[in-house]
Amino acid sequence: MSSTVDFWPLIGVAVVALGFACRFNPMLVVTVGAIATGVAAKMPLQDLLAQLGTGFVKARNLPLITLLPLPVIGLLERHGLREYAQRVIVRIRAATAGRLLVLYLFVREATAALGLVSLGGHAQMVRPLIAPMAEGLAQERHGPIGDTRYRLRAFAASADNIGLFFGEDVFVAFGVVLFMQNFLHGAGIEVSAVRLAVAGIPTAVCVFAIHGFRLYRLDNWLARELDKNATTAAEQASELEEQST
């Protein structure tokens, strides 16, 4: 027996996406998106306000949890964490910036698949450790890297984002997996959370292969770009010497 699925409650997703694209206040965007979803789902006003209040109470300690690591990381950086990480990683002869990021992508995706989503992150791992290590390896192999360091930082951040995003979809107790299970249950489709999590494995593997290949090619790009810059700088220096003589 088929039943009609009401997709209007998903309008909240469109509201959130549009609000973020227009760079409105995130708190305002999320609140308006929640209200739009509740109205589209024909929720009574008191139930809608109750859900908003419950969500606020559950997340009221979230800013503290988010901001607490920042002073700790700042204190560690002040005492030379970034420099120490660079000195340690350059001692490994087989290590390169691309290989390091591929390894971090694998670790991040594998741990996220096990539900350990807090083991990485931009503030905890990428900025103080992974990005400085990649910069140190590039500088050790190619000399001064200049503005190329920003590209390395971007790739380090992408390894964290992609590993977390596609890895946590494989975790059976992840909120989105449970949300899909409940949504399909409401549509009359019975499927276990385990099957949904297993269905995400091929995507996670393909994403790792694609982005891992991009990170692996980063070493070749660094060699071409930095060697070209070094050659240009040497030619300019020789021209200045000739003009001076």
Q: Where are the domains of the chain?
A: 1-60, 62-244
Please report, in angstroms and rounded to a whole number, the separation of the first and last CA atoms in the chain: 91
State the burial class of residue 110 (Cβ atoms within 10 Å of its Cβ: 0-12, 13-18, 19+): middle
Return the minimum-mean-pLDDT range out of 13-22, 89-98, 147-156, 229-238.
229-238
The mean of the pLDDT values for the chain is: 83
State the burial class of residue 61 (Cβ atoms within 10 Å of its Cβ: 0-12, 13-18, 19+): exposed
pLDDT at 20: 86
d(CA 171, CA 81): 32
Count of alpha carbons within 13 angstroms of residue 220, beta-carbon side: 5
In the chain, the amino acid numbered 90 is V
How many other CB atoms sit within 10 Å of the CB of residue 60?
9
Cβ-proximal residues to 227 (8 Å cutoff; 6+ apart), any chain:
142
Question: With 60 as the cut, is the pLDDT of residue 221 above it?
Answer: yes
Cβ-proximal residues to 99 (8 Å cutoff; 6+ apart), any chain:
216, 219
d(CA 183, CA 101): 36
d(CA 143, CA 136): 10
d(CA 56, CA 176): 19
In the chain, the amino acid numbered 138 is A
Instruction: Band the pLDDT of 187: cuts 50, 70, 90.
Output: confident
**Joined tokens for residue 194:** 């385990």
In the chain, the amino acid numbered 45 is L
Question: Backbone phi, then psi, for 130, in 5-degree steps?
Answer: -65, -50
Q: Is 105 in contact with 115 (CB distance < 8 Å)?
A: no
pLDDT at 98: 94
Single pTM value for the model: 0.68
Q: Quote the longest CA-to-CA distance of the chain.
A: 91
Best mean pLDDT range from 8-17, 91-100, 205-214: 205-214
d(CA 87, CA 175): 40
Question: With 60 as the cut, is the pLDDT of residue 147 above it?
Answer: yes
Instruction: Please name the residue ranges forming H helices in 22-68.
Output: 26-40, 45-59, 62-67
Q: What is the CA radius of gyration of the chain?
A: 24
pLDDT at 130: 94
- What's the rounded mean pLDDT across residues 75-92? 80
How many other CB atoms sit within 10 Å of the CB of residue 184?
14
- What's the rounded mean pLDDT across residues 82-108? 89
pLDDT at 240: 64
Q: Is 159 in contact with 208 (CB distance < 8 Å)?
A: no
